[in-house]
Homo-oligomer: A and B are copies of this chain.
Amino acid sequence: MTSALRRRPAQRRSVERVERMLDECARLLDEIGYEALTTKEVASRAGVPIGTFYQFFPDKQGLVRALAVRNLDAFLSRVSERIAGAHLEHWTDLVDLAIDEFVAMKRTTPGFAVVDFGEVLARPGGPPLEGTRRMLDRAQDNNVVVAERLRVLAVGLLDAPPGDGFDRALLVAVEAADAVLKVAFRTHPDGDPLMIAECKLLVRRYLAEHLP
């Protein structure tokens, strides 16, 4: 995975600065959205001069991409924790678990509602966005990466038939779930419960074709 950073922060202060910039980026995304977010504002809020901003981030996208990477790592480690904690009766429990964690982060993690894993969410009525499909990995679409890492996570737990068919099915499920959850959160700030339920139903019904 190509790093989203131009230069890796070596000293303590630099590491803190990069973290602060990501935090401020997340807050600003919640406040004003991606389009209105300016690199100058992120830098100034983090107490970092604009020139230094560009020492670490190649451009505005790189900033958001770095945030997306942080979000995906946080999501996967939270899902892992949940899996360790709960005991899964059926593969459908895993689907519910992942969707529930995603919903939880949408509600609580700053900036997650806007960027999650890189698909920058458009502001209703706002101007258009581009190039957010390959935030996590410049060589592959976001959800391909997400699906792959979920597959690795799940492969030991459920006796899925390995192969292209299942990989494709997982990708389809991730894409579809992502789309429906976006609607759920556009309609309702905490995510329309009916839509979240439909999302789970959609994924279960579909994956039932590929899993026992």
Interface residues, chain A, with chain B CB atoms under 8 Å away: 33-35, 59-61, 64, 120, 122-134, 138, 141, 143, 168-169, 171-172, 175-176, 178-180, 182-183, 186, 194-195, 198-199, 201-202, 205-206, 208-209
Contacts and interface: CB of A to CB of B under 8 A. Distances in A.
Nearest to A194: B168
Given A133-B186, A178-B179, A183-B141, A172 B202 contact: yes
Contact of A33 (B120, B130, B132): B130
B127 A122 contact: no
Contacts of A130: 33-35, 120, 122-123, 126-129
Contacts of A131: 35, 122-129
Given A141-B183, A172-B183, 14 more contacts: A120-B129, A122-B129, A123-B130, A123-B131, A124-B134, A125-B131, A129-B129, A171-B183, A172-B180, A172-B202, A175-B179, A179-B179, A205-B205, A205-B209
A138 B126 CA distance: 10
Contacts of A178: 179
Contact of A128 (B120, B141, B205): B120
Contacts of A179: 175-176, 178-179
Central interface residue in A169, A182, A199, A206, by most chain B CB within 10 Å = A206
Contact of A133 (B124, B132, B168, B205): B124
Given A128-B120, A130-B120, A134-B125, A141 B205 contact: no
Contacts of A172: 180, 183, 195, 198-199, 202
Contacts of A33: 130
